[in-house]
Structure 1
Amino acid sequence: MRHVIALDVGGTGMKAALVGEDGTLLHEARRATGRERGAEAVVDGILDFAAELYAHGAERFGAGAVAAGVAVPGIVDADQGIAVYAANLGWRDVPLRALLGERLGGIPVALGHDVRTGGLAEGRIGAGRGADRFLFVPLGTGIAGAIGIAGTIE
């Protein structure tokens, strides 16, 4: 069954899923971010978690994921795939998209800011679906917001 990896990295924990082509939730997993071990350990933990998800999908569905989407906190250069800065995780200029793509056998990887991607998801398939305007304010280790206006996230 074709599926993708969805991975949300937070200040204290990571949430992940394998999602089928039709949006069906196939598998869920959680793990601590491990920020107390330092930025390098956090990055290693993300790479290991993604690889485990890929392997789980390959074992359970006969093939690994066809793509991955990863959301991280802080400043993100989504076009370049770089986690530029996250005070709560201690990293700077991490080429996370490239690292994940390499670790996952070259599948396409999208990297985005956690709140912007959450807002995008709410606008497309969640509580903001069909609304011309909405406000997305997740509360977690940090606080931020995204505004949905006419199908875009600001």
Structure 2
Amino acid sequence: MTLATQHLGIDLGVTNLKWAVVERQGDDWRSLDQGQRPTLALEGPEAVIGRAVEIGQAALERWPGIASVGIGIPGLYDPVEGSTRFLVNMPGEWAGRPVGPPIEAALGVPVALINDARAFGLAELRLGAGRGAVSLVGLTLGTGVGGVIAIGGRVHLGHDGTAGEVGHQTIDPDGPLCGCGNRGCKVRT
């Protein structure tokens, strides 16, 4: 019999920090716990990271068997350094901000970053409507737009975690200026 392992996922959203504790036993996954709290992104990256640490500490107290933490990032990240690269909709100085290392140091368990849309795809493959699917394409619609592609039952990340990225495509070349610096990523409303 395969031993069960527990993992914490935290979605670093612009509006809310959402979290879930999941358990894996062999190929079976189940959700054990979940919750959310306001991100309060205008308080800046250090405050947001601090709140993620608090979520992790509370989860570890409740579920002491947690073996790893995954952080869903609303944009581009550096998977090797565990830092953010470009979070167009998140206020504050996020470019190059270490996220994984300070959370890992505070919690004492391994931390990995993943784009939030790819995390959504992974959750759908393991726990949701995509369970058992060989291929999956998904879109996330929130503060921004994200995408995920799964091939062979695995989320395809590409060489730097950006495979499946569909946000910030030019829709209207004369459209309004976007937070990413491009014009026309969103249509006029």
TM-score, L = length of structure 1 = 0.82
Q: Paired residue for 1:38?
A: 44
* Mapped partners of 1:130, 1:29: distance in 2: 26
The structural deviation recorded for 1:123 is 3.3
Aligned length: 148
Selected match of 2:122 from 120, 123, 129: 120
Which of residues 53, 59, 71 is equivalent to 1:53? 59
- Partner secondary structure for residue 92 of structure 1: coil
User: Displaced runs of 4+ in structure 1, greater than 4 A?
Assistant: none
Equivalent of residue 19 in structure 1, options 18, 22, 30: 22
Q: Is the 8 A contact 1:55 1:64 kept in 2?
A: no
Q: Which has the higher contact order (CA 8 A, sep 6+)?
A: 1
Q: Residues 20 and 52 of structure 1: is their aligned pair in 2 closer, same or farther, counting only changes over 3 Å?
A: same
**TM-score normalized by the length of structure 2:** 0.68
Instruction: Specify the structure having the higher radius of gyration (Cα).
Output: 2
CA RMSD of aligned residues (A): 2.1
**Is there any run of 5+ residues in structure 2 with no aligned partner, and where?**
157-162, 164-189
Calculate percent identity across the aligned residue pairs: 34
Contact residue 76 and residue 85 of structure 1 kept, 8 A: yes
Residues 2 and 140 of structure 1: CA distance in aligned 2, closer, same or farther (over 3 Å): same
| Letter aligned with residue 35 of structure 1 | A
C-alpha separation in 2, matches of 1:49 and 1:119: 22
Shift of 1:83: 1.7
Structure 1 unaligned blocks of 5 or more: 58-62
